[in-house]
Structure formats: C-alpha cells, structure tokens
C-alpha cells in the first residue's frame, strides 16, 4: 500500500517519555472513521490519488450531490466530507470501500500535519502582526493604534501587504516533520511530538513527512 495519509481529529495534548527518556509534550490525534470513496489514476483522471470520505451524517443532512456520489460507490456509509490524497504512483492495495486506520502509519517516524488555525476574529495590528505599541504614559493618547501608513505625495498610495487590522487566524497551515512517538492501533490514536494547528476536535490531514 503506497497511500499513507489519514484524516484525524485533534483530541488534546499530554506528555510522554520518548526513546531517550526525556519527557516531551505530545498531541493526541484520533483517527476518524473513514473509507475510500474513489481511486483515481493518471490514465482516466490525469493524476494518481485516493479520495477519502469522513464525517458521517444522516442521509437527510447531506447534499443531493453527495448522496448520489455515495450511492454509486455503495460503501454503506453517509459521509459529508471528502479529501483527496495525491500519490506519485498508481494506488496499490486499496479498493473502494476500504477502511483506513492508524495501522497504515506503523513504521512512519515523522509526519506533516495540515489544518486550520484557531480563528481569532477581527484583531488590531498589534496582536495580528506584532507591531510596536506607542507610549503608555505622559498622555500620548497613542497606545495600540495602527499609526500612519507612511506614504507621502509620492507614491501617494498604500502598498499592498501593509500590516493592518483585519481577520486573524482561520488559515490553513502545515507543520512539518513532527515525530511520531506512538501508534495505538487498538484505540486508533497516534501521538506526535509538538503542537498542531487548530483547536480541540479540529480535523487534520496527516501524511508522512517529506523531510524525514
């Protein structure tokens, strides 16, 4: 099997002993119920990939397109979300309806984890970009405000990507090369060293590290 990618849910953090006897912080990831809903190949689809369905719901809660798609493959589950994992070579050892578990990560020493960061809403430039504050004393009346935009008659405009207040968080981020300390095939849980994007119960995509 050349597909070693999974959809996981962030449970929380704890601590464990690594192989060198050091106490390290780890994140526990629960491998969600997921099945292969489609196998793509380069001849028919233009690239090699496997499509995984996860996040089961009642059929009356699904879109008509998803209901039609699931009835065609007849895998016995009603999934509301789907994720494609691309591979370089044609998919081997997986067929439509196959369940993916934590066992496929056995022997993997490091992983890359992709997810969305915590959404913090509309924030100021001090919190969003870590810009400097003004004086807090002597009546400056300039504390956490963004300040001048720094333009004059020439060029007479604000350059793009100027650090300004706005939406902060809720962005897709990938943390690379996280050590895998334990793969619990009984409970379908893996433990990785360090932190991962998002809040508890956030969905994440786990793949073997490209730098390991």
Strands 166-168 and 172-184: unpaired
Same domain, 93 and 173: yes
Same domain, 124 and 21: no
Residue 18 included in any domain: yes
Domains of the chain: total:
2
Q: How confident is the model at residue 93, as a pLDDT?
A: 84
Q: Which domain holds residue 163?
A: 120-168
**Rounded to an integer, what distance in angstroms lies between the CA atom of residue 120 and that of residue 205?**
22
Q: Which of 73, 77, 86 is nearest to 55 (CA)?
A: 77
Same domain, 93 and 128: no
Same domain, 149 and 175: no
Q: How confident is the model at residue 155, as a pLDDT?
A: 86
Average pLDDT per run of 10 along the chain, which is 212 residues long?
A: 89 91 95 93 93 93 92 90 92 90 93 96 95 92 87 86 94 96 94 94 95 80
Same domain, 19 and 104: yes
Same domain, 41 and 59: yes
Same domain, 16 and 79: yes
* Cross-sheet strand order for the sheet of 79-86: 35-40, 49-56, 79-86
Q: What is the CATH number of the domain that holds 110?
A: 2.40.30.10
The residues, ordered by sequence, that sit 6+ positions from 153 with a Cβ below 8 Å of its Cβ are: none
Residue 1 included in any domain: no
Q: How confident is the model at residue 153, as a pLDDT?
A: 85
Q: What is the CATH number of the domain that holds 128?
A: 4.10.960.10
**Rounded to an integer, what distance in angstroms lies between the CA atom of residue 108 and that of residue 179?**
9
Structure tokens at 188: 């379908």
Same domain, 185 and 105: yes
Q: How confident is the model at residue 3, as a pLDDT?
A: 85
**Rounded to an integer, what distance in angstroms lies between the CA atom of residue 62 and that of residue 81?**
10
**125-157 pLDDT per residue, tens:** 999 999 999 999 999 999 998 888 877 888 888
């Amino acid at each position: 099997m050349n597909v070693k990618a999974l959809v996981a849910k962030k449970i929380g953090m704890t601590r464990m002993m690594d192989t060198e006897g050091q106490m390290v912080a780890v994140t526990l990831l629960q491998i969600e119920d997921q099945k292969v809903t489609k196998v793509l190949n380069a001849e028919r689809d233009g690239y090699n990939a496997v499509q995984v369905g996860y996040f089961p719901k009642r059929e009356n809660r699904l879109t008509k397109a998803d209901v039609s798609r699931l009835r065609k493959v007849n895998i016995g589950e009603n999934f509301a979300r789907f994720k494609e994992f691309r591979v370089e070579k044609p998919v081997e050892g997986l067929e439509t309806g196959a369940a993916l578990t934590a066992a496929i990560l056995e022997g993997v020493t490091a992983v890359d984890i992709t997810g969305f960061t915590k959404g913090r809403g509309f924030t100021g430039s001090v919190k969003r970009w870590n810009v400097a504050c003004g004086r807090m004393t002597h009546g400056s009346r300039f504390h956490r405000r963004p300040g001048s935009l720094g333009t004059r008659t020439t060029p007479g405009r604000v350059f793009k990507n100027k650090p300004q207040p706005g939406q902060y968080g809720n962005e897709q981020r990938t943390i690379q090369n996280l050590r895998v300390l334990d793969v619990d095939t009984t409970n379908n849980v893996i433990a990785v060293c360090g932190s991962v994007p998002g809040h508890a119960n956030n969905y994440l995509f786990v793949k073997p590290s490209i730098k390991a």
